[in-house]
Amino acid sequence: MTPAAASNDAPGRTPDTGLRADAERNRDRVLAAARHLYATEGLGVSMASVAREAGVGKATLSRRFATREELINAVFADRMDAYANAVTEALADPDPWHGFTGYITAVCAMQAADRGFADVLTMTFPAAKALEKRRADAYNAFTDLITRARATGYLREDFDDRDMPILLMANAGVINATGNAAPDTWRRLVAHMLRSFATPDAPLPPLPSAPAPAALYRAMVRITRPRPS
């Protein structure tokens, strides 16, 4: 038996990563805790809160993820893949305008499903190389989608690729503000924005209803309450 084989077969180690089984479980707990906290509270959650939620010490967390960017990169890798794949699917749509509007709606829905991801799409993380590469891939494909949508005559000529991050920032703000009080409010915002991007004769789905007055009031009250530390 070679030394490498002996190492891989050693008790308490996983053959694919070489990490001890308990260390691998700790990593999985940290990722699960971070996903939950980021999804429900956004990226403002501290590393200490993640460690506490995972039931591990700060030293254990730092051994697995030395920086916040490393943790964010690991947590959102699959979502960034889905984000990049969404524009690929939109480009494959035989109707470029439908592909464009469908992509806008799909990405904003991804934000609504995960508050942490809503923040990720409006921020940059230079140290998270894999995450930023997928963002760049999606951006480059989106510029192609714009060109195709413009050629239909339904997308305004003055639409700019920089309008997309503006929309994502606005959508993230609505999602964070309304929370569970008026969770579908983002749909109306996106529908209004699509109307602002479109030429007068562009086909668009019906405008979703505005939130009920009571729901909007609850959202406004929610904004005024201090967040727990």
Residues 6+ apart with CB under 8 A from 151: 96
Nearest to 204 by CA among 120, 102, 115, 109: 102
Would you say residue 189 lies in a domain?
yes
Nearest to 39 by CA among 99, 111, 105: 111
How much is the pLDDT for 27? 87
How much is the pLDDT for 96? 97
Number of domains present in the structure of the chain: 2
Residues paired with residue 13 on neighbouring β-strands, in sequence order: 20
CATH number at residue 82: 1.10.357
What's the half-sphere exposure (Cβ side, CA atoms, 13 Å) at 69? 10
User: pLDDT tens for residues 34-55?
Assistant: 999 988 888 888 999 999 999 9
How much is the pLDDT for 77? 87
Within this chain, do residues 45 and 142 fall inside the same structural domain, yes or no? no
User: pLDDT tens for residues 15-31?
Assistant: 555 557 777 888 889 99
Would you say residue 6 lies in a domain?
no
Would you say residue 146 lies in a domain?
yes
Within this chain, do residues 170 and 127 fall inside the same structural domain, yes or no? yes
Listed residues 75, 93, 122: the one ending a domain: 75
Q: Which domain holds residue 179?
A: 77-223
Within this chain, do residues 107 and 179 fall inside the same structural domain, yes or no? yes
Contact 199, 155 (CB under 8 A): yes
Within this chain, do residues 158 and 201 fall inside the same structural domain, yes or no? yes
Within this chain, do residues 198 and 117 fall inside the same structural domain, yes or no? yes
Residues of the chain with pLDDT under 50: 1-14, 229
Listed residues 34, 54, 75: the one ending a domain: 75
pTM of the model: 0.78
Within this chain, do residues 217 and 140 fall inside the same structural domain, yes or no? yes
